[in-house]
Amino acid sequence: MTVIISTCREERESLLPVWKRVVRGEPVKGRAIVRGRFRWLLEECVSPDMESFLEPTLRSLELQSFRDFEVVIVDWHAEKRRHITERYKGKLRIRHVRDKPSPWHSIKPPEGWEPEVEPAFPAPCNARNTGVVVAEGELLLFLDDNMILEPDTLKACWEWHQKGYGVKVIRHRWDYEGRLVLRPEFRRLWDRGWQPYSYRGAWSHGFTVTLENMLKVNGFEEVLCDGCVGGEDIDLGARLHNLLERGRGYRMVLDGRAVAWELGHVHVHRWRPPVRLNIALLDIVRDWER
């Protein structure tokens, strides 16, 4: 298995001190202190000496009960953060590579670009495709660099792969103020269990697909990105649905063991034309269910 982590933006680094305060037991913006199962995992994965949002993700991979996997980190700023991943090389099979060249790295930023919010001009589809190119595992798991995985997540992904199914990792998101945000379909899976899911909803911050099928659909469509972040994975989910599911039923599941706690990050600017295009595409894909 190959875990592909794309880290195209730098603004998340400013949020790491928030989670360090949570670990120390300090309220965040007046909200209640985090408790429960996530509290234990946060304490295990966030330490005062960490300097990058990438480190809690790597620490959670260290804790996985399934061990036969490699980690590929695709980072436009790899030179700045390579010293961080060097610390984990004795614990994880890890490669830290620079994103392949993309036109979105060199063109003039679109109107409305806010460098103080997103100082690095992102190309997430490009980064994820770079990870696919260098991956050696037969199963791919895509993650963002602000996710902390429950210890049995990779084990559940591999077991379902053996049965011919992909997994959508259940995402629980904690925002800046310590509030838990759950999508309705995930609330039913707090206890261990599973239910069918579709590649139509396979957001790339946490889903598995085989390398073979990823190559069959030719990866992420990089032209949809246009230097913006948001919804760029909808097109890929539609193509995987056409390849694997249409007329044959669901080929993906939600499993109560495959859980990621997503630490908050800045919101997607939905007014940008590329993001609006991707969201419009999502409405079309949803119509297929009717």
Give the pLDDT band of residue 196 (cuts 50, 70, 90): confident
Residue 236 has pLDDT above 50, yes or no: yes
Task: Identify the pLDDT of residue 131.
Answer: 94
240/235 Cα distance (integer angstroms): 9
> What are the tens digits of pLDDT across the range 13-27?
566 777 777 777 666
Residue 10 has pLDDT above 90, yes or no: no
249/198 Cα distance (integer angstroms): 9
Query: Distances in Å between the alpha carbon of 169 and those of 53, 116, 120, 189, 205?
Result: 19, 31, 27, 11, 8
Give the pLDDT band of residue 63 (cuts 50, 70, 90): very high
Task: Identify the pLDDT of residue 120.
Answer: 47
The three-class DSSP label of residue 111 is coil
DSSP 2-33: EEEEEE--SGGGGGHHHHHHHHTT--STTPPP
- For 26-69, where are the E strands, in sequence order? none
Q: Comparing 47 with 5, which gets the higher pLDDT?
A: 5
Residue 84: give the domain boundaries: 2-287
186/184 Cα distance (integer angstroms): 5
Give the pLDDT band of residue 172 (cuts 50, 70, 90): confident
CB of 169 closer than 8 Å to CB of 33: no
Q: How many domains does the chain have?
A: 1
Give the pLDDT band of residue 125 (cuts 50, 70, 90): confident
Task: Identify the pLDDT of residue 246.
Answer: 82
264/174 Cα distance (integer angstroms): 6
Task: Identify the pLDDT of residue 183.
Answer: 61
Mean pLDDT of the 178-192 span: 60
Residue 190 has pLDDT above 60, yes or no: no
> What are the tens digits of pLDDT across the range 247-286?
788 899 989 889 888 776 555 555 555 566 666 666 666 6
The three-class DSSP label of residue 157 is helix
Q: Comparing 242 with 201, which gets the higher pLDDT?
A: 242
> What are the tens digits of pLDDT across the range 136-155?
999 999 998 888 899 999 99
What integer best gives the mean pLDDT of the chain?
A: 77
To the nearest 10°, report the CA torsion of 199, 134, 59, 24. -80
Task: Identify the pLDDT of residue 285.
Answer: 63
Nearest by Cα to 119 from 196, 46, 226, 10: 10
- The domain that holds 113 is classified in CATH as 3.90.550.10
> What are the tens digits of pLDDT across the range 73-100?
998 778 888 888 898 988 999 999 988 7
Q: Which residue in this structure is represented by tokens 């010293």?
A: 83
What are the tokens at 268? Answer: 């997607």
Which of 76-80, 228-232, 237-241 has the highest mean predicted lDDT (pLDDT)? 237-241
What are the tokens at 211? Answer: 């390398």
